[in-house]
């Protein structure tokens, strides 16, 4: 929920009685370039006081809206709410960024204290009867208000959000809902903390160099550097963070060690210790059900999907099942290929989940004469960044200039000013791409400030991309994998969605779209990443500067559908798992692992493949915002495959007319119209599933 205040008045009053040394930089005016966060001045002790002050400030603003005796208007009610909470949003966004990328014991303590308070605070707003009455008055006479499309959607959103937030419940049920929300907030924080600690806890320490057989030199160098940083000179340490885990599984010839590290990964959160997540997640699933029923829905999935493009669980399951059958059949064929290779090598063991990366890499080399290590020298991270920036310049005319005068929260971070072709400022982009113990796993985009317009003036966005890619070691730069390259392009697509937003109201700007639409602008970027015309702009050998040879490009193209049975199956399995947790209509009484096993048996997942995320470390749905929404990636992929097909069909993958329409209707429009209507304005018709199946080689 969003709310506004008299920031200038508050700041004057609050700081009038403070000495300059007492000023909290999170509350003070930011005298920095483009009002970027003054990270050099912010310390962890600033967060709690800032949260409590800005909560008070927001409450004062809400009171002002409620106590306004004038007839409710769109401006004095809806716009006032949308513009409110300016400082609270600022504090929350900076803290949220640090919680994900610069976590610490102190940050975790603050999270445990403040997130339940924030949950209670927003519940008090959502359940404020006088505030809802004003919104309802406007909603019921909407036809007479002469609103723009964006204004109409904003009013609809607030009306529905308040109802979904409990505005129509009786006093007893409001209290019950508030208690559930606080408990869910607490459990979600604990789940995420446990996952981070489990990831950091495991170390595969190798002391004998013979145990490194098969591993590329760059992977060995990374492991040596990790060991040195942990005070274990002369040894090698591998962890279950993806940049360390995946190369080990791909190349290590030591099957027992592959099993050891992979088992640590898929048992994360399931070790019956103080970091165990099994009971937490069952409790969360049951509480989400209870909340959904309080609000009049059959299940949590029904509650969530009511606001998405999918609309209901049946439509989600229908899409997943359409793709599942060809995917699992292809995965079975792939497993047979690998089992043959195992047998031909004179081994008698059955292919297991910890073998898949190793033997699929061997099969790929055998079938396509393509070794991932041949590619890495061409994907130096700075060149990849230049490549994705260059693509954005080609498509949209925008440019990126590194700024060294803008404060950063960590030395690994780089900051860029984004401009139009004519030099007009668009926004700021922060990039933070290398793993560290304080950073949660995965890759994501978010904002320190979202784009909107205030008093007719553009408020420009401050966007950040975070990743966990292979890092530089010694004299060797960061050589990332092909998969990491695609992830970088993906997250940059989200960044463009935030940067190129051109909306009036913050609540419908940028990535404030249905969740099953928001992955479309990110995933479409992956299509361009592997086009020969684009590869030649950034895939350059880090030592010689040689552009990637056409021969390698052709190998990449030929192998693009390789292992898609596995990739699609492990993703879909996680999507089914998410939906099964959240379509329950009665509380779960069995343990989490039994529930998961039943879910996977129901779809016929083969034993050689685990779901991409098992329940006990499925942060997307138990610690992030993707509950009943992990399917969104495949739903959005239908859109992105169909959209990119439009560029290909035009005969020019950089078609300027299509790029202009894509920017106008997709990147700049946020949630100012129905998502499918926006897509049709760009494409001219609704998407079909055929381009997706064709791209994955599943047709």
Which residues form the catalytic set?
491
In the chain the first and final C-alpha atoms are separated, in Å, by: 43
Kindly give, in sequence order, each residue whose CB lies less than 8 Å from that of residue 551, ignoring residues fewer than 6 positions away: none
Burial class from Cβ neighbours inside 10 Å (0-12, 13-18, 19+) for residue 43 reads exposed
Name the E strands within 443-526. Answer: 444-449, 452-454, 457-459, 462-466
Q: From CA 120, how far away is CA 630, in angstroms rounded?
A: 27
Structure tokens at 281: 């997640």
The DSSP 8-state label assigned to residue 410 in this structure reads S
Residue 295: CB atoms within 10 Å: 18
Burial class from Cβ neighbours inside 10 Å (0-12, 13-18, 19+) for residue 359 reads buried
- CB contact burial 462-481 (16+ within 10 A = b; e otherwise): bbbbbbbbbbbbeebbbbbb
432 forms bridges with which residues in the sheet? 466
Helix-helix angle 313-344:564-582, to 10 degrees: 140
Q: Which helix (H) or strand (E) holds 60?
A: helix 47-67
Ramachandran quadrant class, 296 (left: phi over 0; alpha: psi -120 to 50; beta: rest) = left
Instruction: Tell me phi and psi for residue 205, to 5 degrees.
Output: -95, 120
Q: Which of 264, 224, 220 is nearest to 241 (CA)?
A: 264
Helix-helix angle 255-266:242-251, to 10 degrees: 150
Kindly give, in sequence order, each residue whose CB lies less than 8 Å from that of residue 389, ignoring residues fewer than 6 positions away: 399, 400, 416
| Three-class secondary structure of residue 439 per DSSP | coil
What sign does the dihedral 673-674-679-680 (CA atoms) show? negative
Q: Which long-range contacts (CB under 8 A, 24 or more apart) does 240-244 make?
A: 240/199, 240/202, 240/264, 240/265, 240/268, 241/199, 241/435, 241/441, 241/468, 242/441, 242/442, 242/468, 243/435, 243/468, 243/469, 243/470, 243/471, 243/484, 244/435
Q: From CA 43, how far away is CA 103, in angstroms rounded?
A: 13
What sign does the dihedral 103-109-114-115 (CA atoms) show? positive
């Amino acid at each position: 929920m969003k709310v506004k205040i008299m920031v200038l008045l508050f700041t004057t009053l609050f700081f009038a009685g403070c000495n300059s040394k007492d000023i909290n930089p999170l509350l003070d005016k930011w005298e920095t370039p483009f009002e970027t966060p003054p990270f050099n001045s912010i310390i962890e002790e600033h967060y709690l006081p800032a949260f409590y002050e800005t909560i008070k400030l927001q409450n004062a603003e809400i009171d002002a809206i409620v106590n306004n005796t004038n007839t409710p208007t769109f401006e004095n009610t809806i716009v006032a709410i949308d513009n409110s909470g300016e400082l609270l949003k600022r504090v929350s966004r900076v803290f949220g960024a640090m919680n994900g990328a610069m976590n610490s014991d102190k940050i975790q303590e603050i999270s445990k204290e403040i997130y339940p308070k924030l949950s209670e605070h927003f519940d008090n707003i959502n359940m404020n009867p006088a505030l809802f009455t004003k919104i309802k008055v406007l909603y019921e006479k909407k036809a007479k208000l002469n609103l723009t499309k964006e204004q109409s959607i904003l009013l609809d959103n607030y009306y529905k959000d308040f109802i979904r937030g409990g505005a129509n419940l009786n006093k007893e049920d409001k209290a019950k809902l508030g208690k559930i929300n606080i408990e869910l907030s607490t459990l979600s924080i604990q789940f995420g903390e446990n996952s981070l600690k489990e990831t950091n806890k495991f170390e595969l320490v190798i002391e004998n160099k013979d145990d490194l057989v098969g591993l590329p030199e760059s992977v060995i160098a990374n492991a040596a550097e990790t060991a040195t940083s942990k005070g274990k000179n002369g040894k090698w340490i591998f962890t279950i963070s993806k940049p360390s885990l995946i190369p080990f599984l791909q190349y290590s010839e030591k099957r027992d060690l592959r099993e050891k590290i992979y088992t640590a990964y898929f048992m994360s959160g399931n070790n019956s210790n103080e970091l165990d997540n099994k009971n937490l997640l069952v409790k969360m699933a049951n509480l989400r059900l209870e909340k959904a029923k309080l609000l009049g829905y059959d299940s949590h999935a029904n509650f969530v999907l009511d606001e998405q493009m999918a609309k209901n669980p049946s439509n989600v399951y229908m899409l997943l099942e359409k793709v599942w059958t060809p995917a699992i059949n292809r995965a079975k064929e792939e497993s047979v290929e690998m089992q043959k290779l195992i047998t031909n090598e004179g081994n008698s063991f059955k292919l297991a989940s910890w073998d898949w990366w190793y033997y699929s890499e061997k099969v790929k080399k055998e079938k396509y004469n393509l070794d991932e290590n041949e590619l890495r020298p061409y994907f130096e991270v700075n060149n990849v960044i230049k490549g994705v920036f260059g693509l954005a310049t080609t498509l949209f005319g925008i440019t990126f200039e590194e700024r060294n005068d803008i404060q950063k929260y960590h030395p690994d971070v780089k900051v860029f000013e984004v401009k139009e072709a004519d030099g007009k400022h668009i926004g700021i982009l922060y990039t933070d791409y290398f793993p560290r113990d304080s950073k949660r796993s995965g890759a994501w985009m978010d904002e320190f400030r979202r784009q909107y317009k205030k008093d007719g003036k553009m408020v420009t966005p401050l966007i950040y991309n975070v990743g966990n890619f292979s890092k530089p070691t010694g004299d060797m730069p960061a050589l990332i994998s092909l998969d990491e390259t695609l992830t970088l392009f993906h997250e940059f697509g989200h960044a463009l969605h935030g940067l190129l937003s051109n909306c009036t109201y913050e609540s419908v700007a940028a990535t404030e779209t249905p969740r099953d639409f928001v992955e479309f602008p990110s995933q479409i970027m992956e299509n361009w990443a592997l086009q020969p015309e684009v590869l030649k702009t950034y895939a350059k050998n880090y030592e010689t500067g040689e552009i990637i040879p056409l021969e390698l490009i052709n190998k990449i193209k030929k192998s693009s559908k390789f292992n898609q049975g596995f990739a699609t199956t492990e993703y879909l399995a996680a999507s089914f798992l998410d939906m099964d947790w959240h379509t329950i209509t009665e509380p779960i009484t069995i343990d989490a692992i039994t529930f998961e096993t039943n879910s996977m048996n129901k779809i016929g997942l083969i034993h050689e493949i685990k779901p991409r995320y098992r329940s006990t470390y499925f942060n997307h749905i138990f610690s992030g915002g993707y509950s009943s929404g992990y399917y969104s990636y495949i739903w959005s992929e239908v859109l992105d495959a169909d959209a990119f097909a439009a560029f290909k069909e035009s005969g020019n993958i950089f078609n300027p007319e299509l790029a202009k329409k894509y920017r106008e209707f997709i990147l700049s429009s946020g949630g100012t119209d129905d998502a499918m209507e926006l897509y049709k304005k760009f494409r001219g018709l609704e998407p079909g599933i055929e381009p997706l199946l064709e791209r994955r080689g599943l047709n």
